[in-house]
Amino acid sequence: MSAVITKDNFDAEVVKSEVPVVLDFWATWCGPCQMQTPELEKFAEAHEGEIKTAKVNVDEQPELAAQFGVQSIPTLILVKGGEEAKRVVGLQSADQLAAQFLG
């Protein structure tokens, strides 16, 4: 299960995370975002302990979306040590996520 990220828990959950974090920027009204969720969960389960996944609702957290310059969703951003390391935009399969973020 992915963590839910807000501006209030961002530092604790993402910046101070001991493992890299994949942030999934999404919205409830976004069809491809709904399709992304099971793929992200499959990816997270396959790589438990090596990486953490977290969801950012762009409608509820516009400051975080703006901070990362998110313009389209779904956008998935790998954060290592509090810094963006990689970004992919659009629906990704679990295998594509592994290739992009762990490959």
Q: Among the options 30, 91, 94, 102, which is catalytic?
A: 30
Q: Among the options 23, 33, 78, 97, which is catalytic?
A: 33
Q: How far apart are the C-alpha atoms of 6 and 43, rounded to whole Å?
A: 22
In the residue annotation, 30 being an active-site residue is answered as yes
Q: How far apart are the C-alpha atoms of 7 and 90, rounded to whole Å?
A: 23
In the residue annotation, 33 being an active-site residue is answered as yes
Q: How far apart are the C-alpha atoms of 103 and 98, rounded to whole Å?
A: 6
Token reading at 83: 């810094």
Active site residues: 30, 33
